[in-house]
Amino acid sequence: MSFLFHTIAPSYASEQLASHLSSLSTLPISTPPSDLTNASSSSSIHSKPNHKLETALHELSSTKHISRDKLIEVLKLLAKDSNHNNLIQNGYYLDSNGRYQTGRDTDNNTSEIDEEIEIEILGRAITIVWKEILQDLVQGALKLDEERNWWESSLNSRRGVGIYLLQTMPHRIYAALPPRSKLLSRPELQSFKLPPREALFKPLRTRTSSAITSITSPYNLTRREMLLSKKELEEKRDEIASKIGILASKGPNWISTTQSVSSSSSDQNLLNVKNETERVFSILCEVLDIPLPSSSSSAEVKSSSSSSRRSKRTPSPPIISIQSTPITLLSLLNQHLPKTNQSIDEILVIHSRPSVMTRLWFPALFLPPTLYLLASAVVRNKQWMKDQVKNAKETIKGFFVQWVWEPIEGIAKTLRGGGEGLGVAPTTVKSDQESLERMVLDLGRDYYHLSGSELDALSVKIRNGDMEEVLRVYEKELQSPVKNALMGSLVRTLLIQVQKTKTDLSLSLLSLDHLLRSQQLTFAFVGLAPSLLVLYGLGGWLRGVWKGEKRGKGRKKQYFNGLRSIERLLITSPKDSEEMSNKDRGLLIVSVSNLRTWSTGLVPGSSREHFIDDLRMIENPLLKRGDKFRVIERIWRCWGIDGNKRI
């Protein structure tokens, strides 16, 4: 399901194809400009390349690599047009009735341009065929290695061998039974006996198989079968890995061809490109076990073509040899490559792990009683389960409504309206301050007999919160509290202090109101933070499960075993030279391809690109063994033993 969110990690064959096609695009293949400038206006009309060749070159040169079906379609189109091109290049032409006639000179520019286009088409086509063969072999080797790993994990314990024997017992008994026609007859049914033990197991491939089978325990016989399947899968995997190593080490080398033809003539450039195409074709035939045809006629074609070009430009057959043609490339894709894949499938059919039904038939026996017990429990506790479902529904609804939606709605209101405070009006505080000031000024006139500037100074003190004059009167009046309460100013000063307390309380509430208004957005986000953290964690976990990042032990085991197998290959490869054998190189590519598949579950972007970049360094044949060991150490250091990136 990960493909719904991001693209699959690129494979080794796809990256190599992009590199080879980019190198092929830089080859200096072009018709000499002198021939074009000397051509007349009438011949320039005929100097256009063949439309089918131009269409095929456009398809093969697109930035998006064509699929195998599209490549087969292009090659079929070129194969149908090959006979027509041969007749035209040998001096024939089409008359008004659509018949081939002779006796008409052909245009040299037309044959040369078509020739160059055919050379480039074959170069691009052979590169794409190389990629398709390499991709199929890598996929087949991965399947073989996956099945081999299953057998190896089952063989690591007696429990695994016993479980396999129990799983396959119905198949063994069914295979050991006589034909059904014999069982239907009464005499045969009466004389029927249980099959002997040795009939339940596959015979050994040695002469003493029957004797060993008669004295060996069923456990050892089962283990021997498992070891045999593992060995067959391993041998086939090593065979495919050797072919992968040959394709990887001897694949298209257009970069060296570009460097060698940079200062050569156009004819030599075409010959070098054609030779490289023929070399790749011979490698593909070697990998697919195809006998190469005789090259005598091809050599004659090369010598005659080069001699005619040294003399002068005359009508000549194309440089394309009898080996790499659209027809032969089609045979590689449609006949020989399916045979190789069929040989892999035959090994997988015989020696792969048991089917899902075979592995699960015994646990399936407990499924009906388990379902019956669960159904009975549900029926007995029907009302309780309804209540639990209702409570869970209300809990989830309350969480999203009260802890997610309402806080978000409150934040929106705060941003829109500025928020809400304690509801204290500034006019109320101002009125209390003015009332306190008037009360103190009246006390100053009556008690201290102040006037003019003295009252103004007292008013300033009151605004600043200085109540010294009132407190002096209050202290003096307390000397005779009963008398002054009845006839003095004690009650008056007490009421003034009550007004002062009321004014201070109003000022405090107003300050608190301003504080709440200014921090209300912060409080809203603080209240929303826990629910957002819960949703973020739940969403990350679900996304990881959906993409494949949280597959648990299986995913961690795939990463650990893949990286460990790469390190083991580097350790066990021949130490007398830095070059790896074809088999070891192929096994290395298969192991790295397994990690490429694993990297699909990583987050697209820097994480995946950094990991794949390290894998490219391991695949690079130019790096020595010691450098690859350093790359492995860096992967262990940066990604850990479970594949989790360490920042």
CB 234 within 8 A of CB 148: yes
The residue assigned the tokens 């709605």 is: 409
The answer to whether residue 458 sits within a structural domain is yes
What pLDDT sits at residue 257?
61
Boundary (domain end) residue, out of 313, 340, 365:
365
347 and 209 in a single domain? The answer is yes
579 and 506 in a single domain? The answer is no
Torsion sign (Cα): 147, 151, 154, 157:
negative
529 and 633 in a single domain? The answer is no
Residues 6+ away with beta carbon under 8 Å from 511: none
Mean pLDDT lowest among 42-46, 219-223, 288-292, 439-443: 42-46
Q: In which band, very low, low, confident or very high, does the pLDDT at 284 lie, cut at 50, 70 and 90?
A: very high
257 and 171 in a single domain? The answer is yes
480 and 607 in a single domain? The answer is no
Tell me the CA distances in angstroms from 95 to 49, 92, 104, 301, one per residue in order: 20, 10, 11, 29
Mean pLDDT lowest among 184-193, 222-231, 432-441, 594-603: 184-193
Boundary (domain end) residue, out of 365, 395, 417:
365
CA 556 – CA 24 distance, rounded (Å): 40
Partners of residue 100 on adjacent β-strands: 94
Radius of gyration of the chain (CA): 45
What pLDDT sits at residue 597?
86
502 and 598 in a single domain? The answer is no
What pLDDT sits at residue 552?
62
Average pLDDT over residues 543-557: 66
CB 521 within 8 A of CB 529: no
The answer to whether residue 173 sits within a structural domain is yes
What pLDDT sits at residue 444?
84
The residue assigned the tokens 């009464």 is: 186
CA 70 – CA 65 distance, rounded (Å): 10
What pLDDT sits at residue 138?
94
What pLDDT sits at residue 148?
93
DSSP 441-503: HHHIIIII---THHHHHHHHHHHTT--HHHHHHHHHHTTSHHHHHHHSSHHHHHHHHHHHHHH
Q: In which band, very low, low, confident or very high, does the pLDDT at 237 lie, cut at 50, 70 and 90?
A: very high
DSSP 63: S
In terms of residue numbers, what domain contains 468? 426-546
Residue type, 291: P
pLDDT of residue 471 exceeding 90: no
Q: In which band, very low, low, confident or very high, does the pLDDT at 298 lie, cut at 50, 70 and 90?
A: very low
Across 454-476, b (16+ Cβ under 10 Å) vs e yields eeeebeeebeeeebebbeebbee
578 and 509 in a single domain? The answer is no
The answer to whether residue 405 sits within a structural domain is no
The answer to whether residue 576 sits within a structural domain is yes
CB 130 within 8 A of CB 280: yes
Residues 6+ away with beta carbon under 8 Å from 103: 91
CB 347 within 8 A of CB 229: no
Average pLDDT over residues 10-32: 75
Mean pLDDT lowest among 41-50, 164-173, 283-292: 41-50
pLDDT of residue 194 exceeding 80: no
What's the gap between Cα 636 and its chain centre? Answer: 20
User: pLDDT tens digits for 399-431?
Assistant: 888 888 888 888 887 777 665 656 667 787 888
Report the run of H or E that residue 505 belongs to, with start and end.
helix 490-547
539 and 573 in a single domain? The answer is no
Max avg pLDDT among 80-94, 227-241, 601-615 = 227-241
Boundary (domain end) residue, out of 365, 394, 415:
365
Q: By C-alpha distance, which of 9, 256, 290, 317 is closest to 129?
A: 290
Q: Calculate the average pLDDT of the chain.
A: 77
The answer to whether residue 273 sits within a structural domain is yes
User: pLDDT tens digits for 596-624?
Assistant: 988 887 766 667 888 899 999 998 888 88
What pLDDT sits at residue 5?
45
564's tokens: 């460990």
Q: By C-alpha distance, which of 583, 589, 582 is closest to 628?
A: 589
User: pLDDT tens digits for 104-141?
Assistant: 444 444 467 777 888 888 888 999 999 999 999 999 99
Max avg pLDDT among 52-61, 133-142, 268-277 = 133-142
Q: If phi over 0 gives left and psi between -120 and 50 gives alpha, with beta otherwise, what is residue 11?
A: beta
CA 313 – CA 31 distance, rounded (Å): 12
Average pLDDT over residues 336-359: 92
Q: In which band, very low, low, confident or very high, does the pLDDT at 548 lie, cut at 50, 70 and 90?
A: low
CA 192 – CA 607 distance, rounded (Å): 66
The answer to whether residue 2 sits within a structural domain is no
User: pLDDT tens digits for 566-586?
Assistant: 999 888 877 655 578 889 999
Q: If phi over 0 gives left and psi between -120 and 50 gives alpha, with beta otherwise, what is residue 419?
A: left
Average pLDDT over residues 43-70: 73
Q: In which band, very low, low, confident or very high, does the pLDDT at 182 lie, cut at 50, 70 and 90?
A: low
The answer to whether residue 528 sits within a structural domain is yes
295 and 359 in a single domain? The answer is yes
CB 52 within 8 A of CB 81: yes
What's the gap between Cα 47 and its chain centre? Answer: 47
Q: Residue 314, CB half-sphere, CA atoms under 13 Å: how many? A: 8
509 and 635 in a single domain? The answer is no
What pLDDT sits at residue 521?
75
449 and 334 in a single domain? The answer is no
Q: By C-alpha distance, which of 286, 293, 261 is closest to 275?
A: 261
What pLDDT sits at residue 299?
40
What pLDDT sits at residue 53?
80
What pLDDT sits at residue 42?
39
CA 570 – CA 564 distance, rounded (Å): 10
586's tokens: 């192929």
The answer to whether residue 388 sits within a structural domain is no
DSSP 91-120: T-EE-TTS-EE-S-PPPHHHHHHHHHHHHH
What pLDDT sits at residue 287?
92
DSSP 179: P
DSSP 400-416: HIIIIIHHHHHHHHHHH
257 and 300 in a single domain? The answer is yes
Residues 6+ away with beta carbon under 8 Å from 31: 109, 112, 113, 116, 266
Total structural domains within the chain? 3
Residue type, 248: A
